Amino acid sequence: MASVVVSGRLDADVKRRADVVLAQAHVLPGDVIRTVFQNIADTGKIPQREAAAHARPSLADFFRDCDDLPKAEGLDSLTREGARDIVTSRYE
């Protein structure tokens, strides 16, 4: 069976944390990649993150949610100084 090399980029912190878990389980990163690709090939589906509830929303989601907010009257004409005064008044 011919093999290929698969490469990708990960956040350094994610890799560091995953390496700890893999080392404890005596599993190599290549084993995980082979398992995931085999699962995709067998099922035709991409595995979903188990922690989807903790997934960071996308920037598009943020802007969509912002569009749904009611218009804040008076803020469109608020100056930098006015904003500073509002914020500082809360801490006086």
Q: Quick one: pLDDT at residue 55?
A: 66
Compute the average pLDDT of residues 66-85.
83
Residue 44 lies in a domain: yes
Alpha-carbon gap, residue 46 to 19, rounded angstroms: 22
DSSP 39-61: HHHHHS-PPPPTTGGGPPPPHHH
Domain count, the chain: 1
Residue 40, domain extent = 12-89
Residue 70 lies in a domain: yes
Task: Tell the residue number behind the tokens 């005596």, with chain if given.
Answer: 26
Tokens of 36: 């995931």
Residue 53 lies in a domain: yes
| Structure confidence at residue 15 as a pLDDT band (50, 70, 90) | very high
Residue 52 lies in a domain: yes
Tokens of 78: 């608020």
Q: Quick one: pLDDT at residue 25?
A: 94
